[in-house]
């Protein structure tokens, strides 16, 4: 290829482009690809003193440790559970919200609701955590007050100290923050549905619900499926921020995710090899999940990601 005189000439002509692109190659190698070499640690009895190239290779020993480690199994369970709850609510809530908003008659109100619905998306996780603490607080928490006032509970509940509530608190906090934002894409899809369809349906005597069921939902189907595929691949990426910030010793058994395990083992205890192995496990499962989701979408004759 390099012997081609044409190629050499072309290369010379775009010397400045080539020079400009060199820093970008160096940058991405250092910041994105160099860490990948660190995956070797997962197969070593890694000691920082010996470095990556002199530590003893031990095959899959670190992974075997992980699967015999009860803490890790718990973390996998928690990640999966919160991931699935999040996948379900994260799909259903934005769709329902988008449909209701598009059916909302009061135009000014529509704009208003839409505008405030995005707002929480831009607030940081720290602020969200603070709001969750406030709303669920024992003494002055709004939730406890409302539930007491309506007689659903007799005395204030210490929500964040009870393991059985934790997953749902994370799920609802995430929905509070993201429902409006996530619904944007569905709203855009609804706007692109042909209005004639609705007109024809109402001439045929179809009511609101039937129009939603037979026109809006089928019109949303491709969007829903594409987003679902993407989100299935992200099921393990439930993040760790909320769990990390809201968690405490009382709910440790349900709050810790794989990412928190990596953080505690890797950074906290300095066991880099185990932390890396746990991270690799998570990446592998994610890739498998997205391939499964994509293949089944293809098998159903739907659009797929690749």
Q: Which of residues 100-159 bind other proteins (CB under 8 A)?
A: 100-110, 112-113, 115-120, 122-127, 129-131, 133-135, 139-140, 142
Site residues for other proteins, 43-102, by CB under 8 A, read 97, 100-102
Which stretch in 65-73, 162-170, 263-271, 291-299 sits in contact with other proteins by CB under 8 A? 263-271
Angle at 157 between CA 153 and CA 158, to 5 degrees: 175
Q: Which candidate, 89, 71, 227, places its Cα nearest to that of 170?
A: 89
- What minimum distance in Å lies between the beta carbon of 88 and other proteins? 19
Q: Which is nearer to other proteins, 163 or 207 (CB)?
A: 207
Cβ–Cβ < 8 Å for 79, 257: yes
Site residues for other proteins, 229-258, by CB under 8 A, read 241, 245, 248
Q: How many of the chain's residues bind other proteins (CB under 8 A)?
A: 97
Which stretch in 10-18, 68-76, 82-90, 291-299 sits in contact with other proteins by CB under 8 A? 10-18
- What minimum distance in Å lies between the beta carbon of 23 and other proteins? 9
As a whole number of angstroms, the distance between CA 25 and CA 22 comes to 5
56, two tokens: 């003893």
As a whole number of angstroms, the distance between CA 247 and CA 243 comes to 5
- What minimum distance in Å lies between the beta carbon of 56 and other proteins? 18
Q: Mapping DSSP to helix (H, G, I), strand (E, B) and coil, where does residue 153 land?
A: coil
Q: Which of the 8 DSSP states describes residue 207? A: -
Q: How far is CA 194 from the centre of its chain?
A: 32
Which stretch in 8-16, 58-66, 68-76, 161-169 sits in contact with other proteins by CB under 8 A? 8-16
Which stretch in 60-68, 72-80, 270-278, 292-300 sits in contact with other proteins by CB under 8 A? 270-278
Site residues for other proteins, 187-206, by CB under 8 A, read 188-193, 195-196, 198-199, 201-203
- Rounded to 5 degrees, φ, ψ at 192 are -85, 0
Q: Which is nearer to other proteins, 136 or 254 (CB)?
A: 136
- Rounded to 5 degrees, φ, ψ at 57 are -80, 135
What residues are paired with 44 via a beta bridge? Answer: 57
203, two tokens: 């001439």
Q: What is the largest CA-CA distance in the chain?
A: 86
- What minimum distance in Å lies between the beta carbon of 225 and other proteins? 14
- Rounded to 5 degrees, φ, ψ at 105 are -80, -35
Q: Does the protein bind other proteins through residue 4 (CB under 8 A)?
A: no
- What minimum distance in Å lies between the beta carbon of 195 and other proteins? 5
Which stretch in 58-66, 71-79, 147-155, 278-286 sits in contact with other proteins by CB under 8 A? 278-286
Q: What is the dihedral of CA 291, 121, 126, 171, to 10 degrees?
A: -50
78, two tokens: 């928690």
Among 54, 209, 299, 301, interactor with other proteins by CB under 8 A: 209
- What minimum distance in Å lies between the beta carbon of 70 and other proteins? 21
| Phi-psi region at 276: left, alpha or beta (left = phi > 0; alpha = psi -120 to 50) | alpha
- What minimum distance in Å lies between the beta carbon of 288 and other proteins? 13
- What minimum distance in Å lies between the beta carbon of 137 and other proteins? 9
């Amino acid at each position: 290829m390099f012997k081609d005189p044409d190629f050499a000439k072309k290369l010379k002509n775009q010397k400045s482009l080539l020079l400009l692109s060199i820093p970008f190659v160096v940058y991405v190698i250092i910041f994105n690809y160099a860490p990948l070499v660190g995956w070797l640690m997962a197969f070593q009895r890694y000691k920082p003193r010996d470095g990556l190239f002199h530590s003893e290779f031990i095959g899959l020993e670190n992974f075997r440790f992980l699967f015999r480690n009860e803490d890790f199994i718990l973390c996998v369970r928690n990640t999966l559970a919160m991931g699935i709850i999040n996948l379900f609510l994260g799909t259903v809530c934005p769709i329902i919200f988008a449909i209701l908003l598009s059916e909302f008659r009061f135009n000014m109100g529509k704009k208003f609701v839409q505008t405030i619905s995005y707002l929480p998306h831009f607030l940081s996780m720290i602020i969200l955590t603070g709001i969750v603490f406030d709303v669920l607080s024992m003494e002055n928490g709004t939730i406890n007050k409302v539930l007491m006032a309506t007689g659903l509970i007799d005395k204030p509940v210490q929500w964040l100290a009870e393991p059985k509530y934790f997953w749902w608190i994370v799920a609802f906090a995430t929905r509070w923050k993201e429902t409006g934002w996530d619904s944007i894409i569905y709203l855009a899809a609804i706007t692109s549905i042909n209005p004639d369809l609705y007109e024809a349906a109402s001439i045929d005597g179809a009511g609101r619900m039937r129009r939603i069921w037979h026109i809006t939902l089928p019109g949303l189907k491709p969007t829903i499926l594409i987003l679902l595929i993407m989100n299935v691949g992200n099921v393990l990426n439930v993040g760790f921020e909320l769990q990390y910030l809201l968690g405490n010793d009382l709910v440790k058994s349900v709050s810790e995710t794989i990412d928190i395990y990596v953080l505690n083992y890797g950074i906290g205890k300095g066991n880099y090899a185990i932390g890396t192995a746990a991270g690799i496990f998570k990446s592998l499962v994610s890739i498998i999940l997205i391939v499964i989701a994509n293949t089944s979408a293809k098998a159903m004759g739907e659009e797929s990601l690749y």
